[in-house]
């Protein structure tokens, strides 16, 4: 296990120990974790609301949801989990939050579609005495805790990997920046981190903020960039995640770009990992989902019981200062360290990655 993963594991282990110790005592009355809450339910099993933002990115349904649910049940066997997915619709998520408040859940884990527009619902939850754990994205409003990755560092990891791969070519052409959704505060942090590395080292020919992180939007934008800049003048592409990287690579291939320029990514999606094996995608950022998911579950259970969660640091949102937070380090993954990261950690098996289509490439990469 590399140093970054060890640090993440130690941080989460510390959080887990603190919450487990808190769980050994008698639970406080629900509602103690936030202001207000006089009318919250006092008896019966605790209920944790889980609100995820979309199902276009494979990670949410395949990793985040089952890991969070597993950890909640480990900490609180009789806890009930109320799960909903907003499917990229901010208004839907506001309605879902209001429904959770009406149900008088004991805590909410929220991954916001739109960090700004959800603030009103977060405020309503606070007034009802329901603590809200911001998960993965730093929602605005009076949240009680936050867990995510060091998102500026994610961008730095992507930018550094791209710059190193370009080498002398960085001076020969232009790159395209395909940033994430403008409603996602993480996207701004990824971009900031990437630009801190890339600015002054390579010319950015085109830069886009991609609505809803949609691969089809990235595909359309990339086609426009190729038409504007010329396919022979694009030496690399900064893609903020793997889903968009897929749309970008399709656009490059459709335009007859060969060889493909290095394209970055994020989330270590199976399709992204397979594109790295085949040589279509240069790298992805692996964010170990278990430490993040477990930290969110531990915070939510502690807050639902009226306990103060143990965290390593604090962060500031646009509306709230000194939010208790656990931040986890990201890891750059290329074909050279796939085996020692996503395979070693059990994110995917060799059999899942190395289907018939990728068998030859897997052999070459030393996976088979």
Encode pLDDT of 123-170 as tens digits: 999 999 999 999 999 999 999 999 999 999 999 999 999 999 999 999
Question: In the β-sheet with 174-179, what is the strand arrangement from edge to edge?
Answer: 203-209, 174-179, 234-239
Q: φ, ψ for residue 206 (rounded to 5)?
A: -145, 145
* pTM of the shown model: 0.76
Rounded alpha-carbon distances, angstroms, from residue 218 to 180, 181, 214, 359: 9, 11, 6, 28
Identify the pLDDT of residue 208. Answer: 98
Encode pLDDT of 70-96 as tens digits: 999 999 999 999 999 999 999 999 999
Identify the pLDDT of residue 233. Answer: 95
Identify the pLDDT of residue 14. Answer: 41
Identify the pLDDT of residue 368. Answer: 78
- Report the Cα 304 to chain-centroid distance in Å: 24
Q: What percent of the chain has pLDDT over 90?
A: 81
Which uninterrupted H or E stretch holds 348?
none
Sign of CA dihedral 139, 85, 287, 5: positive
What residue ranges of the chain have pLDDT lower than 50? 1-42
Buried b (16+ CB within 10 A) or exposed e, 318-355: ebbeebbbbbbbbbbbebebbeebbbebebbeeeebbe
3-class DSSP state for residue 282? coil
């Amino acid at each position: 296990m590399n140093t970054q993963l060890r640090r993440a594991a130690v941080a989460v282990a510390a959080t887990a120990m603190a919450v487990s110790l808190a769980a050994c005592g008698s639970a406080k009355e629900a509602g103690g974790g936030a202001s207000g809450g006089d009318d919250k339910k006092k008896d019966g099993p605790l209920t944790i609301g889980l609100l995820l933002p979309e199902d276009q990115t494979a990670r949410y349904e395949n990793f985040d949801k089952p890991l969070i649910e597993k950890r909640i049940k480990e900490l609180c066997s009789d806890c009930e989990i109320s799960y909903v997915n907003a499917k990229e619709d901010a208004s839907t998520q506001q309605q879902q939050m209001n429904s959770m408040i009406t149900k008088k859940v004991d805590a909410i884990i929220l991954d916001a579609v739109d960090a700004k527009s959800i603030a009103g619902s977060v405020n309503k939850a606070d007034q009802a005495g329901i603590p809200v754990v911001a998960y993965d994205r730093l929602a605005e409003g009076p949240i009680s805790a936050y867990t995510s990755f060091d998102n500026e560092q994610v961008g730095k990891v992507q930018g550094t990997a791209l710059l190193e791969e370009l080498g002398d070519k960085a001076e020969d052409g232009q790159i395209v920046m395909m940033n994430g959704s403008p409603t996602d505060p993480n996207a701004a942090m990824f971009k900031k981190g990437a630009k801190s590395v890339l600015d002054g080292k390579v010319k950015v020919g085109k830069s886009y903020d991609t609505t809803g992180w949609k691969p089809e939007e990235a595909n359309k934008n990339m086609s426009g960039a190729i038409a504007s800049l010329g396919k022979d003048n694009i030496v690399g592409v900064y893609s903020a995640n793997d889903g968009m990287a897929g749309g970008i690579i399709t656009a490059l291939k459709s335009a007859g770009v060969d060889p493909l320029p290095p394209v970055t990514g994020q989330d270590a999606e199976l399709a992204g990992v397979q594109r790295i094996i085949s040589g279509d995608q240069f790298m992805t950022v692996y964010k170990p989902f278990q430490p993040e998911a477990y930290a969110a579950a531990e915070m939510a259970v502690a807050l639902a019981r009226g306990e103060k969660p143990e965290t390593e640091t604090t962060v500031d949102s646009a509306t709230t200062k000194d939010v208790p937070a656990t931040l986890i380090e990201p890891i750059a993954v290329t074909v050279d360290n796939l085996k020692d990261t996503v395979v070693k950690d059990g994110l995917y098996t060799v059999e899942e990655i190395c289907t018939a289509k990728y068998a030859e490439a897997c052999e070459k990469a030393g996976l088979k």
